[in-house]
Structure 1
Amino acid sequence: MSQTHLHLVSDSTGETINSVARACMVQFKVEEPIEHVWSLIRTKVQMEKVLLQIRQKPGPVLFTVVNQELREILIRECRRLGLPSIPVLDPVIHALASYFNLEMSGKPGLQHTLDSEYFNRIEAMNFALNHDDGQLPQNLNDAEIVLLGVSRTSKTPTCIYLANRGYKAANVPIVPGCPLPKELETLSNPLVVGLTKDPASLMQIRRSRLKMISNEEETDYVHLESIKEEVKMARKFCNEHRWPIIDVTRRSIEETAATIIKHYHRHMGIADE
């Protein structure tokens, strides 16, 4: 079977449509198509270049283009080629426009306007990177969220995801034989959350990690019984402080972050949306 193609056409950076496409494609047990991302398409000349590639490598077209003339050019050519063209944001925009009784602005890339929310995310990202893996523990009280967990429980990627949502998150590793920062005992501001994972799953992930760095030495780090003790110790520590614990074994980063944010809202007395 020949490789299929998927064209993602956007008048902005393409991040939104790329996320939508991937979220949809994982629902199908098919060979992953070759993605062609066409971003910042805002003129007829640019659109014609995109159409040339679509003709040469035909496949479904997903698009987020607000300019009506460019939309019509794309839709018309896709119809001629017998290809589906899907405006992925239209149902949401039309529903919101109907509810609020407003017209859309028709300006591309407005979601990336450099507003205060954007700069808050940048600040949160810098905070997460500077306070990764137990760095600068003296600043932990400046965080909004602190994640605890043994090695390979997705602390860093979860912090990065939270930062992208605008939350200042730090993470602290729980390592056997190493004392935890004394600052943890006196935190008054942040929500502290423990992350845990099934020991057998942790063992496999750690073995794979060591193999990637060409180190397959048998140590307590990859010994199942030792890992069980680590997980037990970490869980006990969080329970003693009445910090919520999230098992990330079968959770995606997004699912884990969503649960953390719910805990944070309760921590801050914010009603769930």
Structure 2
Amino acid sequence: MTIQEMVYIVSDSVGETAELMVKAVASQFFGKDVEIQHFSYVEDEQDINNVITVAKYRPSIIAYTIVLPDLKDYLDQRADEEQIIAVDLMHPLMNAFSQKFNMEPNRQPGQMRKLDENYFKRVEAIEFAVKYDDGQEVRGLKQADIVLVGVSRTSKTPLSMYLANKQFKVANVPLIPEVPPPKELFEIPRKKCIGLIISPEKLNEIRRERLKRLGLTNSASYASLNRIFEELTCAEDIMKKIGCPVIDVSNKAIEETADIILAMFNKRGSFA
């Protein structure tokens, strides 16, 4: 391969998908990356003409991802006129989807990038939930979209992770009678805070099962009803001081509790 040979990547978005495919194919021929030039965000026939003008004077291939039919057809026509090889990387598979699933594509450029942005937002939210789980780094409370408070075993952590998968940054704080709640809890807008309560009987059942899995006896104060009543009373007093909404999670799945929280947000635009 000489330095004059080139692959032009043409896209109505960034062109990342096309570049990955071109490099994968080039590796089967040259054992290294092919020389590539990008023409991103092409919008009209003039943009296509610019590509053709450059490409026709060099040994080259045009590899493109263009979802707009008129623009695609114009590129095919101009490439054919100038005897330039132009390879459509998307439409064969799009046509297969349409035929098999009886659907039409929305033909909107940049959809993959939107998916990527959502992915990275989700990862960021999950990392946030891990970092600020169980009262760690209380400074994160002011950065959170949602702050969950409640006694131990009210599903704060799994609920945080579930909401993080929906791109919410969630911190959670355990409420323990012997440990004063962080002052930051009373400094953040109450609309961000959600209190989780549970019936004493249900919590006793959950904690007894927890002790059993850990190989401990049920005599531990952690699972005693007296201790549970003390914790719940203390937690409810703190929630009242915060002024946050409270959800009873006694017989609710994680998804159900999350739906209630999201419904509060969607209805009021906040959690207040």
Structure 2: how far apart are the matches of 1:238 and 1:221? 21
**Does the 8 Å CA contact 1:144/1:190 hold for their aligned counterparts?**
no
Change (3 A) 1:215 1:112: farther
Q: Distance in 2 between matches of 1:136 and 1:190?
A: 20
Corresponding position of 1:237: 238
Q: TM-score, normalised by structure 2?
A: 0.57
Please say if residues 140 and 170 of structure 1, whose CA atoms lie closer than 8 Å, have aligned partners that are also in contact.
Answer: yes
- Report matched runs for 1:44-59 at 5 Å: none
Q: What does residue range 182-261 of structure 1 map to in structure 2 within 5 Å? A: 182-188=183-189, 191-216=192-217, 218-261=219-262
Q: C-alpha separation between the residues in 1 aligned to 2:115 and 2:190?
A: 28
1:204 corresponds to which letter in structure 2?
E
Distance 1:115 1:234, change over 3 A: same
Whichever residue aligns with residue 116 of structure 1, its letter is: E
Tell me the SS of whatever aligns to 2:176.
coil
Q: Shift of the alpha carbon at 1:154?
A: 0.3
Distance 1:189 1:111, change over 3 A: farther
Count, aligned residues: 174
Amino acid at match of 1:148: V
Larger radius of gyration: 2
Identity rate of aligned residues, in percent?
A: 40
- Unaligned residue ranges in structure 2 (runs of 5+): 1-94
The structure-2 alpha-carbon separation of the partners of 1:214 and 1:263, relative to structure 1 and needing over 3 Å to count, comes to: same
Q: CA deviation at 1:178?
A: 1.1
Offset at 1:174?
0.7
Distance 2:160 2:264 in 1: 15
- Equivalent-residue separation in structure 2 for 1:68 and 1:138 (angstroms): 48
Aligned to 2:26: none
Corresponding residue of 2:69 = none
Task: Tell me how far 1:113 sits from its aligned partner.
Answer: 7.0
Check 1:68–1:191 CA distance in 2 against 1; reply closer, same or farther (3 A cut): closer
Q: 1:191 to 1:266 in 2, by over 3 A?
A: farther
Deviations 1:153-201 (A, max 9, x none): 0000000000000100010001121111111111138610001111111
2:163 maps to which residue?
Answer: 162
Trace 1:1-273 onto structure 2 (pairs within 5 A): 67=96, 103-104=104-105, 114-188=115-189, 191-216=192-217, 218-266=219-267, 268=269
**C-alpha displacement at 1:216, in angstroms?**
1.4
Q: By how many angstroms is 1:241 displaced?
A: 2.2
In structure 1, the gaps of 5 or more residues are 1-65, 72-89, 98-102
Partner of 1:23: none
Offset at residue 249 of structure 1 (A): 1.0
For the 8 Å contact 1:191–1:264, the answer to whether it is kept is: no
Q: Distance in 2 between matches of 1:186 and 1:69?
A: 53
Q: CA deviation at 1:219?
A: 2.8
Amino acid at match of 1:140: L
C-alpha contact 1:144 1:189 (8 A) present in aligned 2? no
**How far off is 1:125 after superposition?**
0.4
Mean Cα deviation higher: 169-178 or 219-228: 219-228
**Letter of the structure 1 residue corresponding to residue 159 of structure 2:** T
Shift of residue 239 of structure 1? Answer: 2.0
Partner in structure 2 of residue 35 of structure 1: none
AA partner of residue 185 (structure 1): F
Letter in 2 for 1:178: V
In the aligned structure 2, how far is the partner of 1:140 from the partner of 1:247? 22
1:148 CA drift (Å) = 0.3
Does structure 2 conserve the Cα–Cα contact (< 8 Å) formed by 1:145 and 1:264?
no
Does the CA-based 8 Å contact 1:141-1:190 persist in structure 2?
no
